[in-house]
Amino acid sequence: MKIFIDTANLDKIREVNSWGILDGVTTNPSLVAKENTDFETLVGEICKIVSGPISAEVMSETATEMVEEARKLAAINKNVVIKVPMTEEGLKATKTLAEEGIPVNMTLVFSAAQALLACKAGARYISPFVGRFDDVGEDGLRLIAEIMDILDSYDFDTEVIVASIRHPIHVTQAARMGAHIATIPYDVLKKMFNHPLTDIGIKRFKDDWAKVPKK
């Protein structure tokens, strides 16, 4: 499974990239708004840190405007992926962008039917949101299972980015289902390598090592 970080914060991206496990970055308007930097400059800076796909979202509402906005974002760096919302206009824009060779991450996917349409339109990535399903008492991971069943049955050139991740269990369960990518908030990434038994083991080794005679 590829691991992306879901943030627009440069310091957090640099830190996680230093771990040697980061494959890409996803951003959204809410994350960008926290950084107090103009969008295009911020995307350019992220591209200097991470060599993998960097998702940048269009804010236009019509297909024509989405395509125009997407072309400008794609010109920032060859690794920019355009996030397009799952709407009728978004599907039209995705088809056009895919034909132009501009990769699209179709976002705000909440059903397998939506995922199928995104694949048919040529989306390079689709982002189903598991946490928001869990927030309303539904099983978000069941959606991932349904989408992976569809992708396993057909020859779509589309990868699933599991989004809206709330905790490490979302990541491990999605990986067990064969999801291609998880885009993970910084705080959840930090939790993934922490375990009390690891801490206990390290302390025990240190305590025992202190008893070993030294020259």
By annotation, the residues acting in catalysis are: 83
Q: Which of 145, 173, 119 is nearest to 1 (CA)?
A: 173
> Is the four-CA dihedral 65, 70, 73, 75 of positive or negative sign?
negative
Nearest 10 degrees: Cα torsion 4, 148, 114, 133: -70
Phi, psi for residue 207 in degrees, rounded to 5 = -65, -45
112-121 and 140-153 are packed helices; what angle lies between their axes, rounded to 10 degrees? 40
On whether the CB atoms of residues 148 and 158 are closer than 8 A, the answer is no
**DSSP alpha helix (H) spans, 26-121:** 29-33, 39-49, 63-74, 88-99, 112-121
How many residues belong to the chain? 215
